[in-house]
Amino acid sequence: MARKKRILVTGGAGFLGSHLCEKLVDGGHEVLCVDNFYTGDKENLAGLLGSPRFEIIRHDITFPLYLEVDEIFNLACPASPIHYQYDPVQTTKTSVHGSINMLGLAKRLRAKILQASTSEVYGDAEIHPQDETYWGRVNPIGPRSCYDEGKRCAETLFFDYRRQHNLSIKVARIFNTYGPRLRPDDGRVVSNFIVQALTNQPITIYGDGQQTRSFCYVDDVIDGLVKLMDTNDEVVGPVNLGNPSEVTMMGLAELVIELTGSRSAIEFKPLPLDDPRQRQPNIKLARDRLGWGPSVPLRDGLVETIAYFENFIIAADRAGAAA
């Protein structure tokens, strides 16, 4: 029987973090969720609040934290452009100062620590698909740099702590992820399209709609994170976690309209600065070393996500009517 552990999840009230907390608690572990609730929401953790194996701490990881744990999943950082560009200095500090504080905690405890990095470290990539050996093409002074370069610096810190202090680290590069608990106001393409479609507003496509992304359902990504953490110390990463099935923004918009039965028209707007033209993971390393690959098709995952947003919008309408 696997040993039950005491596990810290930073950013645990967020989209990915809350799903990870649930999986770890369901696995019999004790979970400490740390979040400053800048983008996280306690409602995401409603199903865990009665569990004796779950605890929430309100804390900003740019300040030191002193706990006793066996493992750390470092997920804290706003991940959507609207939120990470709102306070770019704080975004950078969360990735850099936050990583230093969590690495310091892991060093003191000799605990294994996983960094949730991002496909944004590849920037507007010159190779396609992107594998872990590619160093990326990132603008260091643009409006997305606080997130892109912050995550790149966090990876540097993790590997330097491994080299200098022999710390047990894991680094996952997470590609576009979607599913229930995405915030309707986060500006990410899946939530934007679904909310616009459900309310019959114009679906906003930036650019000509031919730029591509690869979308992975949240359950698959969480499974990959847990498998990476549970592998032996020889598998350090970075490891791409994402779905290699590529779709254009126009194709995604048409699929969302179909699944929602929406009357929305499609509206084109200028492409934002430094927005990547294409994004697709090479996941050979994850398949070979973790035995991991995505299992949820895009259509099936969108059906689940649309149902979540339908309930969210209905609840918001009822609350507004009662006010």
Distance CA 52, CA 50 (A): 7
Closest listed residue to residue 15, CA positions, set 119, 149, 116: 116
The two three-digit tokens of residue 233, written as one number: 């110390």
Residue 271, CA distances (Å) to 126, 210, 211, 250 in order? 18, 11, 10, 14
Residue 318: count of CB within 10 angstroms of its CB = 10
Query: Among this protein's residues, is 217 annotated catalytic?
Result: no
Q: What secondary structure letter does DSSP report for 305?
A: H
CA 303 vs. chain centroid, Å, equals 20
Report strand pairing: 246-248 vs 212-214: antiparallel
Catalytic site residue from 84, 147, 161, 178: 147
Handedness of CA 206, 301, 42, 194 (dihedral sign): positive
Residue 101's identity, in one-letter code, is N
Helix 218-230 vs helix 15-26: angle between axes, to the nearest 10 degrees? 60
Residue 217, CA distances (Å) to 121, 152, 190, 274, 308 in order? 20, 24, 11, 25, 14
The set of catalytic residues is 147
